Amino acid sequence: MNNIHNFLKTVDYSNYEYQYSVQIMERLQEKRPELNRVVEEIDRIIIANRKVVGGHVDYSLNEIITEKKANLNRLNNVLDGGGDDRSSIIEWGAEIVKLIGVQNTFFTRLQLQMTQESFLRHVTAEHTTTIKYLIDLGRSLLIEIIR
């Protein structure tokens, strides 16, 4: 047990962090077009139905759309502006993981909004089902990026 404890004290995790960060950046680059399409399609459906939803739900949905797009832009900027030295890549990898968590939170908030009676009353069952599918697809993409 003492040997394991000593080993863990001396392990250099920076190599692992670097390799994981590179993998995350590569996966995000690969999944970015599909993730962008998912977010755009969710936004399109919500915007098409905003006329009839109204009130607090409309305000909340608009807030979610705005924050979700801003977060997605931050993710895209990380890829486009990432440095190529080791410490920058590790830093960008950590930032990507954080932003993916934020993006997942937006999907959760949207999912909660969809359970509101005022949302369900005004949005077609087809659109509700499509948004649920897109949220699941978006989450799957996020998991694939950080796995």
Q: How many domains does the chain have?
A: 1
Domain that holds residue 49: 2-146
Tell me what the mean pLDDT of segment 100-129 comes to. 83
pLDDT-derived band of residue 53, with 50, 70 and 90 as boundaries?
A: low
Is the CA virtual torsion 125, 126, 128, 132 positive or negative? positive
Among 20-24, 83-87, 111-115, where is mean pLDDT lowest? 83-87
What pLDDT is recorded for position 33?
92
- From CA 137, how far away is CA 40, in angstroms rounded? 13
Residues in the chain: 147
pTM: 0.77
Tell me what the mean pLDDT of segment 128-138 comes to. 92
Per-residue pLDDT reduced to its tens digit, 14-24: 788 888 988 99
Q: Please answer whether residues 79 and 28 qualify as being in contact, where contact means their C-beta atoms are separated by less than 8 angstroms.
A: yes
Work out the angle at residue 64's Cα, subtended by the Cα atoms of residues 60 and 70, and round it to the nearest 5 degrees: 145
- What dihedral do alpha carbons 146, 9, 89, 28 form, nearest 10°? -10
Q: Please answer whether residues 26 and 145 qualify as being in contact, where contact means their C-beta atoms are separated by less than 8 angstroms.
A: no
